């Protein structure tokens, strides 16, 4: 894939090294993507740096309480557009019942590693004592 082939069109900012787009399927209101113009390490790092600063700016301005910053690399990690891009997702109090674990929620039931591990027992085994 080439930069010219990326599917995003709703740009917010265009810079020499990257473009910022609104996400087409936002997780929360304000979810944006930092997309490097080339697949070079320097352009990708420029995206991370800008996204991190943008996120902290949001917090300082009161736009959100926190943020997630991340990248899916490869199909097995959930990447659907095979061009590097960084997700900046604003988070607000109450947008999720228990946000502990953050990005660990990409694997169901693995997000909150602090929850007690409840063992599931078949009803028949429970009633008969496992016999």
Q: 105 and 95 in contact (C-beta within 8 Å)?
A: no
Q: What are phi and psi of 96, to 5 degrees?
A: -150, 140
- The pLDDT of residue 73 is 93
| Paired residues of 33 in beta bridges | 21, 87
The pTM assigned to this predicted structure is 0.81
CATH, domain range 3-128: 3.30.428.10
Question: Per-residue pLDDT for the chain (131 aa), expressed as one digit of tens each?
Answer: 999 999 999 999 999 999 999 999 998 999 999 999 999 999 999 999 999 999 999 999 999 999 999 999 999 988 999 999 999 999 999 988 888 777 777 666 655 555 555 555 555 555 555 55
- The pLDDT of residue 99 is 81
- The pLDDT of residue 101 is 76
CA distances for 41 relative to 22, 46, 66, 81, 84, angstroms: 23, 9, 26, 18, 10
Q: What is the largest CA-CA distance in the chain?
A: 69
- The pLDDT of residue 129 is 53
- The pLDDT of residue 113 is 56
Judged on CB neighbours under 10 Å (0-12, 13-18, 19+), 101 is: middle
């Amino acid at each position: 894939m080439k930069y010219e082939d990326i599917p995003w069109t709703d740009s917010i900012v265009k810079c020499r090294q990257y473009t910022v787009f609104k996400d087409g399927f936002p997780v929360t209101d304000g979810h944006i993507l930092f997309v490097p113009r080339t697949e070079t390490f320097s352009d990708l790092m420029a995206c991370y740096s800008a996204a991190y600063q943008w996120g902290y700016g949001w917090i300082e301005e009161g736009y959100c309480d926190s943020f997630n910053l991340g990248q899916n690399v490869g199909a097995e990690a959930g990447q659907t557009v095979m061009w590097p891009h960084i997700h900046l997702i604003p988070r607000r109090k109450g947008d999720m019942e228990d946000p502990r674990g953050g990005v660990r929620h990409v694997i169901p039931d693995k997000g909150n590693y602090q929850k007690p591990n409840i063992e599931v027992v078949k009803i028949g085994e429970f009633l008969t004592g496992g016999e």
